């Protein structure tokens, strides 16, 4: 994405959009990282002269380098099954409450700490880099880990704002493998022209390198009384806070305190998100718009699932897994694709409602509006169901929130007068006006639906 930022200007132009998905080879699910890097270079070559480059991606995954800086093995996808059962094993030596007190992180089976415990660390592993740090390393030759992404490893001390030496030791990992942390806005280095074929001298600037951290920068909110859903493959549902909430309630409800830009806390929970629909679409070979039209016409509240059930995590035959969960919970499986789509979207809206309510209670923060950002903000049916289920106005957009948050943080680092997050958000608001959805329908229907899915478990 090519971004332009100035007084009253915030624009993006797509330079290169490319496929990114899991690749299974000999029983392991990998990322095609060299394809991502190659495609990034192709996109950068189309950009012309630019003032900076910022990189964000998903979190938790990593590459390991040897002491000559060579990549040891191809990075594994967090949806790979090598972490099956590992979380339980690690938690038998590091109790969950102790882990939470230090990291404030939600338990997800693929957190970096569990991925590292699932593999034998190669003896020649010298450096761990998160995915955006690895790409930045290839562009510049500079080593370091950006803080928002480090905060998702479950090896990071959320209060000290640095790696947790104690947890690294207790996990049996060598401390020198974890490089110094960088803050969003720091210059990482300059592009290496011979290595990359790009113009010399362009700075690579650290941004909120966790895509969700960048996306939350671009929430077009006013003040503090807002919640957000960063809606894409995952739905990240929560609040922005000044400090982490490390209470037992937060831990038991599995809320995370991930690092945000400008030292904020992203207090949120991962909801399985549009991944379930994406996988259905893949299996059916169907067109998304047609599926959404069929979902809009299907009868409401016919079938409901718990989208966060572990069986939905790995890629595979999602329609069959939905049917299976329905049978297990005494429901007739969806009779056609429209009914299945309706089931997925209503079930997501219900999960959002539960998460939003829990977040407000646990963090003692009430909200007046819910911002839905990211690709999922284009899904009109889901936005309306979200407003109906949550009982608050939904403001949908911007779609490319992560890219906007990325370029805003770079622009500030390069001297643009965007003093704080509220100045950045004001610029997003004035250039990317969100679409409003007001709650409709009967709140009692959602109460009944909620007790159907969650009340009896
Ligand atoms: C969203 C996201 C989530 C993270 C998941 C795995 O793209 O970054 O925030 O939990 O991917 O890294």
Tell me the pLDDT tens digit for each residue of 243-264. 999 999 999 999 999 999 999 9
CA angle 331, 335, 336 (to 5 degrees): 140
Report the atom number in ligand 1 closest to the C-alpha of 61.
12
Handedness of CA 147, 148, 150, 155 (dihedral sign): positive
- Which is nearest to 225 in space by CA: 97, 410, 371? 371
Mean pLDDT across 69-94 = 98
| Pocket flag, ligand 1, residue 196 (CB < 6 Å) | no
| Pocket flag, ligand 1, residue 62 (CB < 6 Å) | no
pLDDT tens for residues 351-398? 999 999 999 999 999 999 999 999 999 999 999 999 999 999 999 999
| Pocket flag, ligand 1, residue 270 (CB < 6 Å) | yes
| Per-residue pLDDT at 362 | 98
Report the atom number in ligand 1 closest to the C-alpha of 270.
10
Q: Which position among 80, 133, 211, 388 bears the catalytic label?
A: 211
| Per-residue pLDDT at 17 | 97
Tell the residue nearest (CA) to atom 11 of ligand 1: 58
Classify domain 210-457 at the CATH topology level: Nucleotidyltransferase; domain 5 (3.30.420)
Report the atom number in ligand 1 closest to the C-alpha of 258.
9
Higher-pLDDT residue of 21 and 409 is 409
CA of 397 to the centre of ligand 1 (A): 19
Model pTM greater than 0.90? yes
- Which string of b and e fits 223-242 if b means at least 16 CB within 10 Å? eeebbbbbbbbbbbbbbbbe
CA of 212 to the centre of ligand 1 (A): 7
155: pLDDT strictly greater than 60: yes
pLDDT tens for residues 283-325? 999 999 999 999 999 999 999 999 999 999 999 999 999 999 9
Mean pLDDT across 152-157 = 98
| Pocket flag, ligand 1, residue 234 (CB < 6 Å) | yes
Q: Helix/strand/coil (H, E, C) string of the chain? A: CEEEEECCEEEEECCCCCCCCCEEECCEEECCHHHHHHHHHHHHHCCCCCCCECCCECCCCEEEECCCCCECCCCECCCCHHHCCHHHHHHCCCCHHHHHHHHCCCCCCCCHHHHHHHCCCCCCCCEEEEHHHHHHHHHHCCCCEEHHHHCCCCCEECCCCEECHHHHHHCCCCHHHCCCEECCCCEEEECCHHHHCCCCCCEEECCCCEHHHHHHHCCCCCCCCEEEEEECCCEEEEEEECCCCCCHHHHHCCCEEEECHHHCEEEEEEECCCHHHHHHHHHHCCCHHHHHHHHHHCCCCCCCCCCCCHHHCCCCCHHHHHHHHHHHCCCCCCCCHHHHHHHHHHHHHHHHHHHHHHHHHHHCCCCCEEEEECHHHHCHHHHHHHHHHHCCCEEECCCCHHHHHHHHHHHHHCCCCCCCHHHHHHHHHHHCCCEEECCCCCHHHHHHHHHHHHHCC
| Pocket flag, ligand 1, residue 78 (CB < 6 Å) | yes
| Pocket flag, ligand 1, residue 258 (CB < 6 Å) | no
Of the pLDDT bands very low, low, confident and very high (cuts 50, 70, 90), residue 457 is very low
Q: Determine the residue of 22, 29, 60, 273 to mutate for testing ligand 1's pocket, defined as the one with the most ligand atoms within 8 A of the Cβ atom.
A: 60
Report the atom number in ligand 1 closest to the C-alpha of 58.
8
Tell the residue nearest (CA) to atom 2 of ligand 1: 58
The radius of gyration of the chain's CA atoms, rounded to the nearest angstrom, is 21
| Per-residue pLDDT at 363 | 98
pLDDT tens for residues 394-445? 999 999 999 999 999 999 999 999 999 999 999 999 999 999 999 999 999 9
Please, are residues 60 and 236 in contact by the beta-carbon 8 Å criterion? no
Mean pLDDT across 54-68 = 98
CA of 356 to the centre of ligand 1 (A): 18
| Per-residue pLDDT at 389 | 98
| Per-residue pLDDT at 100 | 98
- 335: region left, alpha or beta (phi > 0 left; psi from -120 to 50 alpha): alpha
Residue intervals in the chain for CATH 3.30.420.40: 2-209, 210-457
Percentage of the chain lying above the pLDDT 70 cut: 100
108: pLDDT strictly greater than 70: yes
- The matching CATH number, chosen from 2.40.30.200, 3.40.5.90, 3.30.56.10, 3.30.420.40, for 2-209 is 3.30.420.40
Mean pLDDT across 109-119 = 98
Report the atom number in ligand 1 closest to the C-alpha of 234.
1
CA of 443 to the centre of ligand 1 (A): 31
| Pocket flag, ligand 1, residue 58 (CB < 6 Å) | yes
| Per-residue pLDDT at 454 | 81
CA of 78 to the centre of ligand 1 (A): 10
453: pLDDT strictly greater than 90: no
- Mean pLDDT (the chain) is 97
Q: Write the CA distances from 424 to 183, 212, 431, integer angstroms.
A: 17, 16, 11
160: pLDDT strictly greater than 70: yes
For the question of residue 211 being annotated catalytic, the response is: yes
């Amino acid at each position: 994405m090519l971004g332009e930022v100035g007084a009253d200007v915030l624009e993006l132009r797509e330079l290169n959009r490319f496929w990114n998905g899991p690749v299974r080879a000999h029983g392991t699910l990998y990322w095609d990282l060299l394809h991502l890097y190659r495609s990034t270079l192709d996109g950068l070559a189309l950009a012309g002269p630019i003032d900076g480059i910022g990189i964000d991606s998903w979190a938790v995954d990593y590459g390991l380098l040897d002491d000559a800086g060579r990549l040891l093995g191809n990075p594994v996808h967090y949806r790979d099954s090598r972490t099956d059962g590992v979380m339980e094993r690690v938690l038998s030596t590091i109790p969950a409450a102790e882990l939470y007190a230090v990291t404030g992180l939600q338990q997800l089976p693929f957190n970096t700490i569990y991925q590292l415990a699932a593999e034998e660390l190669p003896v020649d592993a010298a450096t761990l880099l998160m995915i955006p740090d690895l790409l930045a390393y290839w562009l510049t030759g500079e080593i370091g880990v950006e803080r928002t992404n480090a905060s998702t490893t479950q090896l990071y001390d959320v209060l000290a704002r640095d790696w947790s030496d104690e947890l690294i030791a207790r996990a049996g990992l060598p401390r020198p493998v974890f490089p110094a942390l960088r803050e969003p806005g720091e210059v990482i280095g300059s592009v290496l022209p011979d290595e990359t074929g790009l113009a010399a001298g362009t700075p690579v600037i650290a941004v909120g390198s966790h895509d969700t951290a960048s996306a939350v920068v671009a929430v077009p909110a006013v003040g503090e009384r807002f919640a957000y859903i960063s809606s894409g493959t995952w739905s990240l549902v929560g609040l922005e806070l000044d400090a982490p909430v490390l209470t037992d309630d937060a831990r038991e409800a599995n809320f995370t305190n991930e690092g945000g830009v400008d030292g904020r806390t992203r207090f949120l929970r991962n909801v399985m998100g549009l991944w379930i629909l994406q996988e259905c679409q893949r299996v059916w070979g169907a067109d998304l718009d047609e599926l959404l039209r069929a979902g809009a016409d299907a009868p409401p509240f016919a079938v409901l699932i718990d989208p966060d059930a572990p069986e939905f995590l790995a890629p595979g035959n999602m329609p069959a897994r939905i049917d299976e969960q329905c049978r297990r919970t005494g429901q007739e499986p969806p009779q056609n694709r429209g009914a299945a789509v309706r089931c997925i979207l209503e079930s997501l809206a219900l999960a959002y409602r539960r998460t939003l309510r829990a977040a407000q209670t646990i963090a003692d923060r009430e909200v007046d509006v819910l911002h839905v950002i990211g690709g999922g903000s284009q899904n009109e049916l889901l936005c309306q169901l979200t407003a109906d289920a949550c009982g608050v106005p939904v403001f949908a957009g911007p779609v490319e929130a992560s890219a906007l948050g990325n370029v805003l943080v770079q622009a500030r680092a390069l001297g643009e007068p965007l003093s704080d997050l509220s100045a950045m958000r004001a610029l997003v608001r004035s250039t990317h006006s969100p679409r409003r959805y007001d709650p409709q329908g009967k709140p009692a229907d959602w109460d009944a639906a909620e007790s159907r899915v969650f009340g009896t478990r």
